[in-house]
A and B are shown apart, each in its own frame.
Chain A
Amino acid sequence: MEKQEPQRANLLQGTLDMLVLRTLLYGPAHGHQIGKHIQRTTNDFLQMQHGSLYPALHRLEERDWVTSKWETGPDSNREFKYYRLTEKGRKQLVVEESQWKQMAEAVARVMWPAAEES
């Protein structure tokens, strides 16, 4: 039996910011953790190179939606750069979430009109 190659999608521009913010809602995390978390939660559907995370993180920091600090990890004595959600970032997440919802609903209405009627 042939192994099925899992379907993969590229992230939509701007969606990454929302995903990062959402991930940080659980608590502070460093870049590697955030990347791993997004990949794991989507069952590797959202495939991304970890590298693309850093421009996004720095962009969010530039906008004061997250702050960063070098801290020692819980199970090692190495220092990692931990990102934390700010109050402004929390509000932004709500905004982006609702925008995303509206967009998804709109797309759904076009794609599956029958489901809407029944």
Chain B
Amino acid sequence: MRWWLSRKRDADLERELRSDLELEEEELRERGLSPKEAHYAALRAFGNPTLIREQTREAWGWTALERFLQDLRYALRHLRRSPGFTLIAVLILALGIGAVTSVFSVVNGVLLKPFSFRDPDRLVVMREAVDDAATGRTAIPNNYRHFLRLKNGAATIEDAAIFSQTGLSVSSNGDHPRIVGAIMASPNLFHVLGVEPMLGRGFVEADAKKGSDNVVLLSYEGWQAFFAGDPKAVGRTLRIGGQPITILGVLPPGMRFPQIALAPKTAFQEMAHDALLFVPLAPSERDLTADMGNFNYKAIARLKPDVSLAQASAELDAMQKAYTISAHLPLHFGIALTPLTKDVASGISGALWLLLAAVGAVLLIACVNLANLQLARAVNAERETAVRAALGASRAQLVRSRLTESLLLALMGGAAGAGLAFAGVRLLIFLVPANVPRLDEVHVNAPVLLFAAGISMVAAITFGILPALRSLRVPPRAALQANSARTANTQEGRRTRSLMVATQVACTVVLLIVTSLALRSFSHLLHQNRGFDASHVTVAQVDLFAPQYDDSLPNVKAVKLAFVDRALAALRQLPGVQSVAITSVAPLTGETWVDNITRPDHPVPAGKEPMINVRWINPDYLPTMQSQLVAGRNFTAADRANPYVALISERAAREGFPGEDPIGRKIINIVPDDKHPITVIGVVADARINGLKDDAAMVYMPHWAFTPWVLSFLVRSSQPSDALIPEMQRAIWQIDPQVAIPLLKSMDDQVNDSVATDRFQAIVLTSFGAAALLLALLGVYGVLSYSVSLRRQEFGVRIALGSGKGALVRLVLRQAAYPVLFGAGIGMVMALAALRWVRSLLYQTPVMDPFAIGFSVVLLLAAAAIAAVVPAHRAASIDPMKALRTE
């Protein structure tokens, strides 16, 4: 209702009432009453004018807003009278809401926000799945031939694209090349995603032919990086792998290609850089003909409208199973589909949801604290409430005015919290491991602010409802007569306060148990036996993507070997170097080069051979990594002439040669395109070189048998890595300035980065756990000191009657002990339920860890005891004379 309109209406009503009242008076005077008598008689007949005005306004139906404004004014006045409380309450709420909002904005950006593709809900990630009676169902990458059959035959999918992610070596302006994230994709990829290039054209089928595939699309970021956003970039060339490649077009700025794992077991690190380049995928002869092996691709499909995920899964799975049977494939293949958003976030979603739940619990504990403060204030304001009730305020009005106060606090806290969230998000992004997908999409935006507003409302109701309902139960007469301390200290008031303490304690126990388990898990992860020593080792990955190392050159093998020999020799010359090794895969980058142990002397059905990871190393690898040789011998320089020798890990020995001595046995099909039998010459202790959580079986072979294009140099030196890193770079580029060095850092850093998610989880959970513990401590302290202050007189009487100090302290402590112990018990039961969800986030840590549970409970009880001692001491030192005089 507009303000001037309501003014006019008020004046109108006033005039109407006055004119009718005057008429009544006139009539009464005509009947012979004196003017004074007539005036009062008319008023009597008329009724209470104020009430009439109120009721009439009520009839106008616009009073809800007016009422709210009145409540708001009242609440403001009330809060202004206790600035200390208001400040603390707003501060607690701002921190709580700010923390929840920050975590939510990460959850929103990483897990919830849809991709900026056309109808992103219909996009699914497609993988093949192998069914095995022993190990269950394992998702694996796609085989090109299998993919083509499914894409052409399936009725539930509109279109599907196949691609692989790789690093390409790009050199612009004659600099050393750098490795840039790239997608090699079937030409229809952008059709599947529903994205049009903003400059130039997209791929057509003809681009995916060998010979005409030297074209590239740039992502918006790539366009900025290599051409500084020059609109004439289309048609120009970019030197990729030493070859000039033509720019076909540029993709729009919103298009960020999601990071999709090849298979669930591949570490995130491998995909750390975003794709800047898109090149057409021209299938090789082997891609088109091989049914087994060659599982090298990722695939993304668009479901037809109105087709559910379950329907599409069922159809594709059935097609693949039927083909497995009709083509007599040795494994049981199926198809597994996951929605794109879910798949991309699969590595981090559990941790993020856990953090959201944890920060929510902290906010809940804070709300209980505030409810407690509000309740004490409501009791202190009881006389006022009673006066208002006596003057005719309805129950609804009383509840409303108290709730309005809570709402006002929550809105102030929420606004401050939303402000804090801007800083909080920045802090979280700093803490979150860099390989978490879609981090650049994490912002405090409209949905996040809406969430903050919603959570403020919920908080207001959570901490405001109890005190509000409490004011309903105030009997006006009793409250006006009695001393407020006595009304407050009823059985019921005590029970409410105990319940709140128990709630806080229960939430805190759950949070502490989860936190200590996460810390145990993280500590176990770092301190378990790794089978290698990372300290004093520096790792440099080198990619030989240059024309002189091209696959098609006849002497490429010798050229690569010559580079490795020169690099090893140069690195050995650096100061403080003890040994230099090479390995084909940088440590802690997940499972790659997965193959099988095939034994000519002991054939097993195809697909049943034990899986192993192959690494190409030199003889210095074991001493550099300080991995132990368990049996047999290491490689020596003498093996260079006949490099068909292998070292296997203990697990590979167990699985490939159960109950046998593997030394001297033959295996085949490890060296690409080479059937020469390989002799096992030694067994190496298991080492977690793929990742601290990974214990895959390994086969090591000398790089003389095969030198891959991507290799890592490991340098063990007494020099610190910081000093060594520029030296290593200079040494490698002195030998060949055309090679790229995408990774160069200390092995300790590499280890730390590989457990970034676990560290993030542990750090953030610890800070939430500490916050919860602090809040619980404050809560117990607040409730106890309040109840001691209410019972001052009682304690005074007790002391006057001869009660000892010790007895009083025990009395107060006992009062604290019941709700705390009860809450701790409830918390342990709740933890049992919660831990089932947490189990998957812990690494080899039993959730029923008595140490973690016991530690959490003892920590909480100690905190509660500290919180209780001060009020208990205060109760014991009450001066009976003073306490009794205040009556």
- Write the residues of chain A forming the contact surface with B, with a CB cutoff of 8 angstroms: 30-32, 49-52, 54-56, 58-59, 62, 78-81
Contact of A52 among B47, B49, B60 (CB under 8 A): B47
Does the CB pair B60–A54 fall under 8 Å? Answer: no
Contact of A51 among B19, B47, B59 (CB under 8 A): B47
Whether A78 contacts B19 in the complex (CB less than 8 A), given A51-B51, A58-B59, comes out as: yes
B128 CB, nearest partner CB in chain A, Å: 70
Whether A59 contacts B45 in the complex (CB less than 8 A), given A32-B23, A50-B24, A54-B17, comes out as: no
Question: Which chain A residue lies CB-closest to B48?
Answer: A51
Question: Which chain B residue lies CB-closest to A52?
Answer: B47
Does the CB pair B20–A52 fall under 8 Å? Answer: no
Does the CB pair A49–B47 fall under 8 Å? Answer: yes
Contact of B52 among A51, A62, A79 (CB under 8 A): A51
Interchain Cβ contacts under 8 Å between A and B, 30 examples: A30-B20, A31-B20, A32-B20, A32-B23, A49-B45, A49-B47, A50-B24, A50-B46, A50-B47, A51-B47, A51-B48, A51-B51, A52-B52, A52-B55, A54-B52, A54-B55, A55-B58, A55-B59, A56-B59, A58-B56, A58-B60, A62-B61, A78-B19, A79-B19, A80-B19, A80-B20, A81-B12, A81-B15, A81-B16, A81-B19
Interface string of B1-37 (1 = CB under 8 A from A): 0000000000011011101100110000000000000
The interface residues of chain B lying within 8 Å CB-to-CB of A58 are 13, 56, 59-60
Question: Which chain A residue lies CB-closest to B22?
Answer: A78
Distance between Cα atoms of A81 and B18 in the complex (Å):
11
The interface residues of chain B lying within 8 Å CB-to-CB of A30 are 19-20
Number of A-B contacts (CB under 8 A): 53
| Interface residues of chain B: helix, strand, loop or mixed (majority) | helix
Distance between Cα atoms of A32 and B17 in the complex (Å):
9
* Additional 7 contacts, C-beta under 8 A, given A54-B55, A58-B60: A31-B20, A49-B47, A50-B24, A52-B47, A54-B56, A55-B58, A81-B12
A-B CB proximity, top 10 nearest: A51-B47, A49-B47, A55-B55, A59-B59, A51-B52, A32-B20, A58-B59, A81-B16, A55-B56, A55-B59
The interface residues of chain A lying within 8 Å CB-to-CB of B55 are 52, 54-55
Contact of B20 among A49, A50, A56 (CB under 8 A): A50
- On chain B, the number of residues with a Cβ less than 8 Å from chain A's Cβ atoms is 22
Question: Which chain B residue lies CB-closest to A51?
Answer: B47
Does the CB pair B20–A55 fall under 8 Å? Answer: no
The interface residues of chain A lying within 8 Å CB-to-CB of B19 are 30, 78-81
The interface residues of chain B lying within 8 Å CB-to-CB of A32 are 20, 23-24
The interface residues of chain A lying within 8 Å CB-to-CB of B20 are 30-32, 50, 80
Distance between Cα atoms of A19 and B56 in the complex (Å):
18
The interface residues of chain A lying within 8 Å CB-to-CB of B60 are 58, 62
Does the CB pair A51–B16 fall under 8 Å? Answer: no
Distance between Cα atoms of A59 and B61 in the complex (Å):
9
The interface residues of chain A lying within 8 Å CB-to-CB of B59 are 55-56, 58-59, 62
B838 CB, nearest partner CB in chain A, Å: 58
Distance between Cα atoms of A50 and B48 in the complex (Å):
10
Distance between Cα atoms of A81 and B60 in the complex (Å):
17
The interface residues of chain A lying within 8 Å CB-to-CB of B23 are 32, 80
B114 CB, nearest partner CB in chain A, Å: 47
The interface residues of chain B lying within 8 Å CB-to-CB of A54 are 13, 16-17, 52, 55-56
Contact of A55 among B16, B48, B49, B52 (CB under 8 A): B52
The interface residues of chain B lying within 8 Å CB-to-CB of A79 are 19
Residue of B12, B49, B51, B59 contacting most chain A CB atoms (<10 Å): B59
The interface residues of chain B lying within 8 Å CB-to-CB of A55 are 52, 55-56, 58-59
Does the CB pair A50–B16 fall under 8 Å? Answer: no
The interface residues of chain A lying within 8 Å CB-to-CB of B15 are 81
Distance between Cα atoms of A82 and B46 in the complex (Å):
18
Whether A50 contacts B58 in the complex (CB less than 8 A), given A78-B19, A80-B20, comes out as: no
A83 CB, nearest partner CB in chain B, Å: 10
The interface residues of chain A lying within 8 Å CB-to-CB of B24 are 32, 50
Distance between Cα atoms of A62 and B55 in the complex (Å):
13
Distance between Cα atoms of A55 and B60 in the complex (Å):
9
The interface residues of chain A lying within 8 Å CB-to-CB of B58 are 55
A81 CB, nearest partner CB in chain B, Å: 5
Does the CB pair A50–B56 fall under 8 Å? Answer: no
Question: Which chain A residue lies CB-closest to B17?
Answer: A54
Residue of B51, B55, B58 contacting most chain A CB atoms (<10 Å): B55
The interface residues of chain A lying within 8 Å CB-to-CB of B56 are 54-55, 58
Distance between Cα atoms of A65 and B60 in the complex (Å):
14
Distance between Cα atoms of A56 and B60 in the complex (Å):
10
Residue of A30, A32, A80 contacting most chain B CB atoms (<10 Å): A32
Does the CB pair A51–B61 fall under 8 Å? Answer: no
Interface string of B40-69 (1 = CB under 8 A from A): 000001111101100110111100000000
B13 CB, nearest partner CB in chain A, Å: 7
B90 CB, nearest partner CB in chain A, Å: 40
Contact of A50 among B12, B45, B61 (CB under 8 A): B45
Residue of B13, B20, B47, B58 contacting most chain A CB atoms (<10 Å): B20
Distance between Cα atoms of A56 and B19 in the complex (Å):
18
Residue of B45, B48, B58 contacting most chain A CB atoms (<10 Å): B45
Question: Which chain B residue lies CB-closest to A58?
Answer: B59
Distance between Cα atoms of A30 and B15 in the complex (Å):
13
Question: Which chain A residue lies CB-closest to B52?
Answer: A51
B675 CB, nearest partner CB in chain A, Å: 96
Residue of A49, A58, A78 contacting most chain B CB atoms (<10 Å): A58
Residue of B12, B15, B47 contacting most chain A CB atoms (<10 Å): B47
A11 CB, nearest partner CB in chain B, Å: 13
Question: Which chain A residue lies CB-closest to B23?
Answer: A32
Distance between Cα atoms of A68 and B47 in the complex (Å):
23
Question: Which chain B residue lies CB-closest to A50?
Answer: B46
Question: Which chain B residue lies CB-closest to A47?
Answer: B45
Question: Which chain B residue lies CB-closest to A79?
Answer: B19
B627 CB, nearest partner CB in chain A, Å: 88
A44 CB, nearest partner CB in chain B, Å: 12
| Residues B433-479 near A (CB distance < 8 A) | none
Question: Which chain B residue lies CB-closest to A30?
Answer: B20
Question: Which chain B residue lies CB-closest to A31?
Answer: B20
Does the CB pair B46–A49 fall under 8 Å? Answer: yes
B26 CB, nearest partner CB in chain A, Å: 9
Distance between Cα atoms of A100 and B171 in the complex (Å):
93
The interface residues of chain B lying within 8 Å CB-to-CB of A52 are 47, 52, 55
Residue of A50, A52, A62 contacting most chain B CB atoms (<10 Å): A50
B25 CB, nearest partner CB in chain A, Å: 11
Distance between Cα atoms of A47 and B15 in the complex (Å):
25
Interface string of B50-94 (1 = CB under 8 A from A): 011001101111000000000000000000000000000000000
Distance between Cα atoms of A55 and B15 in the complex (Å):
15
The interface residues of chain B lying within 8 Å CB-to-CB of A51 are 46-49, 51-52
A62 CB, nearest partner CB in chain B, Å: 6
The interface residues of chain B lying within 8 Å CB-to-CB of A31 are 16, 20
Distance between Cα atoms of A50 and B21 in the complex (Å):
9
The interface residues of chain B lying within 8 Å CB-to-CB of A56 are 59
Question: Which chain A residue lies CB-closest to B49?
Answer: A51
Question: Which chain B residue lies CB-closest to A34?
Answer: B20
Distance between Cα atoms of A8 and B776 in the complex (Å):
63
The interface residues of chain B lying within 8 Å CB-to-CB of A50 are 20, 24, 45-47
Distance between Cα atoms of A80 and B13 in the complex (Å):
12
Distance between Cα atoms of A19 and B58 in the complex (Å):
21
Question: Which chain A residue lies CB-closest to B42?
Answer: A50
Residue of A51, A59, A78 contacting most chain B CB atoms (<10 Å): A51
The interface residues of chain B lying within 8 Å CB-to-CB of A49 are 45-47
Distance between Cα atoms of A54 and B46 in the complex (Å):
10
Question: Which chain A residue lies CB-closest to B44?
Answer: A49
Distance between Cα atoms of A104 and B317 in the complex (Å):
73
The interface residues of chain B lying within 8 Å CB-to-CB of A59 are 59
Distance between Cα atoms of A49 and B44 in the complex (Å):
8
Distance between Cα atoms of A88 and B32 in the complex (Å):
42
| Residues B551-598 near A (CB distance < 8 A) | none
The interface residues of chain B lying within 8 Å CB-to-CB of A62 are 59-61
Distance between Cα atoms of A49 and B55 in the complex (Å):
13
